[in-house]
Structure 1
Amino acid sequence: MEIVDHDAIDRTEAVDGVHLSQGAAGDDTSVQEFFIEPGAEVPEHSHHHEQAGVVTQGTLTFVIDGVEHLVHAGDSYNIPGDEPHAAYNDGDVPVEGYDIFSPPRTNPDWQD
């Protein structure tokens, strides 16, 4: 069993206003925490990992194939691997939540 102490995790500003941190990782999945400031955007990107997540605070808008999908606090979502997607926070509060990646995403580009 691996336990990653939340207070010991380094948060990285991947793009302006988008803060990510790497959590626990196993053979088949990994956990990532996100904190997205009001007005911040995650540019369109894709990765081979399947991405499932939950928003714990705020509302995050995903854009997939030009269609906006609102994910509110308490909602969960799943994005297939290799699916181009973007996201933004146009609310007044930070958006917080967690993503689970499979296979594990233990060395994401944003850590560089």
Structure 2
Amino acid sequence: MERVSLDDCDPSEAADGVRLALLAGTDSMNVQHFEIEPDATVDEHSHPHEQTGFIVAGELTFLVGGEEIVCGPGDSYAIPGGESHAAENRGDETVRGVDIFSPPRENPNWQSD
């Protein structure tokens, strides 16, 4: 068993106001914690990994296929691998949550994917 505490991680600044920390993982999936400050944006991107997530605090607006989907505390979501998506924090509160990627998304280059 692997145990990884968020307190032991050094988050990466993926974009202005967007911090990501890779947590525990296996050969088939891994967990990532994220914090997205008010007015911060995750630019449109895609990756081959399936992505599921859960919002703990704040509201995050996803932009997928021309549609806007707002997720707030207690909401989960699933994004198929290869589907282009973006996200924006349009609120006044920092968004906090977790994502699970399959296959694992290890050491991603945040600037290019």
Answer yes or no: same fold by TM over 0.5: yes
Q: CA deviation at 1:32?
A: 0.4
- Aligned structure 1 segments of 4 or more residues deviating by more than 2 angstroms: none
Deviations 1:1-45 (A, max 9, x none): 000122110011110010100101101100000000000000000
What do you get for the CA RMSD once the two structures are aligned?
1.3
Structure 2: runs of 5 or more not aligned:
none
1:1-112 paired onto structure 2 within 5 Å:
1-110=1-110
Using structure 1 for the length normalisation, give the TM-score. 0.97
Calculate the TM-score normalised by the size of structure 2: 0.96
1:35-78 Cα deviation digits (max 9, x unpaired): 00000000000000000000000110000011100001100000
Identity of aligned residues (%): 55
AA aligned to 1:83 is: E
Pairs aligned (count): 112
Q: What displacement does 1:111 show?
A: 8.4
